[in-house]
Chain A
Amino acid sequence: MTNLIACHGCDLLVDVADLQHGERAYCPRCGHFLTRYRHDMMNRVLAFSIAAIILMLVSLSYPFLSFASSGLESVMTLRAAPGALWDYGMHALALMVAAFILLIPAFILLLLVAISVPMLMGVPAPWLSASTRLLFELETWAMVEVFIIGVIVSLVKIAAMATVVLGISFWAYAAFTICFTLAMTTLDRYQCWEMIEALENAQSPEAAR
Chain B
Amino acid sequence: MTTADTAASRGLAVCHTCCKLVPAAEHECPRCGSAVHLRTTNSLQRTLSLLITASILFIPANVYPIMITEALGTEDISTIIGGVVLLIKLGSIPVALVIFIASVIVPLAKLAAMYYLVWSVSNLPHRGHRPRTKLYLAAEFIGKWSMIDVFVVAILVALVHLGGLIVIQPGIAAYSFAGVVLITMVAAENFDPRLMWDQLDKNNDSET
Chain A contact residues, CB within 8 Å of chain B: 4-6, 8-13, 29-32, 35, 65, 67, 69-70, 72, 74, 76, 81, 84-85, 88, 90, 92-93, 96-97, 100-101, 129-130, 132-133, 136-137, 140, 143, 146-147, 149-154, 156-162, 189-190, 193, 196-197, 209
Taking CB as reference atom, which chain B residue is nearest A81? B158
**Distance A32 CA – B132 CA, assembled complex (angstroms):** 11
Task: Note all chain A residues with C-beta closer than 8 A to B149.
Answer: 150
* A96-B150, A157-B152 as given contacts; A85 in contact with B157, CB under 8 Å: yes
Task: Note all chain A residues with C-beta closer than 8 A to B197.
Answer: 9-12, 29-30
Q: Choose among A10, A11, A67 the residue with the greatest number of B CB atoms under 10 Å from its CB.
A: A11
Task: Note all chain A residues with C-beta closer than 8 A to B137.
Answer: 9, 32
Task: Note all chain A residues with C-beta closer than 8 A to B145.
Answer: 146, 149
CB within 8 A of A150: which of B12, B155, B170?
A: B155
Whether the pair A65, B159 counts as a contact (CB closer than 8 A) is yes
Whether the pair B133, A154 counts as a contact (CB closer than 8 A) is no
B22 to chain A, nearest CB (A): 10
Chain B contact residues, CB within 8 Å of chain A: 4-8, 10, 12, 14, 16-21, 30-34, 83, 86-87, 90, 92, 95, 98-99, 102, 129-130, 133-134, 136-137, 144-145, 147-163, 165-166, 169-170, 174-175, 178, 185, 189, 193-194, 196-198
**Distance A133 CA – B26 CA, assembled complex (angstroms):** 18
Listed A/B pairs (23) with beta-carbon separation below 8 Å: A8-B14, A8-B16, A8-B194, A9-B133, A11-B8, A13-B10, A67-B159, A81-B158, A84-B161, A88-B157, A88-B169, A90-B157, A90-B169, A96-B150, A140-B189, A143-B144, A147-B147, A149-B145, A154-B151, A154-B159, A193-B18, A196-B31, A197-B20
CB within 8 A of A156: which of B87, B147, B148?
A: B87
B39 to chain A, nearest CB (A): 9
Taking CB as reference atom, which chain B residue is nearest A75? B159
Interface on chain A toward B: helix, strand, loop, or mixed SS? helix
Whether the pair B144, A140 counts as a contact (CB closer than 8 A) is yes
Task: Note all chain B residues with C-beta closer than 8 A to A6.
Answer: 6-7, 12, 14, 19, 21
CB within 8 A of B194: which of A11, A69, A100, A137?
A: A11
Whether the pair B6, A31 counts as a contact (CB closer than 8 A) is no
CB within 8 A of B163: which of A10, A13, A72, A143?
A: A72
CB within 8 A of B156: which of A4, A143, A146, A154?
A: A154
**Distance A146 CA – B149 CA, assembled complex (angstroms):** 10
CB within 8 A of B18: which of A11, A161, A189?
A: A189
* A88-B157, A129-B31 as given contacts; A70 in contact with B165, CB under 8 Å: yes
Nearest 10 pairs of A and B residues by beta carbon: A150-B151, A6-B7, A6-B14, A193-B18, A10-B197, A11-B6, A30-B133, A154-B155, A81-B158, A190-B19
Task: Note all chain A residues with C-beta closer than 8 A to B8.
Answer: 11
B40 to chain A, nearest CB (A): 11
Task: Note all chain A residues with C-beta closer than 8 A to B30.
Answer: 209
Q: Choose among A5, A154, A197 the residue with the greatest number of B CB atoms under 10 Å from its CB.
A: A154
Whether the pair A147, B162 counts as a contact (CB closer than 8 A) is no
Task: Note all chain B residues with C-beta closer than 8 A to A129.
Answer: 18, 31-33
Task: Note all chain B residues with C-beta closer than 8 A to A92.
Answer: 175, 178
Task: Note all chain A residues with C-beta closer than 8 A to B156.
Answer: 154, 157-158
20 further A-B contacts with Cβ under 8 Å, apart from A30-B193, A93-B153, A93-B154, are A9-B136, A10-B4, A11-B8, A29-B197, A31-B130, A32-B133, A88-B157, A88-B161, A93-B157, A93-B175, A97-B154, A100-B147, A130-B33, A133-B17, A140-B185, A146-B144, A150-B154, A152-B95, A154-B151, A159-B90
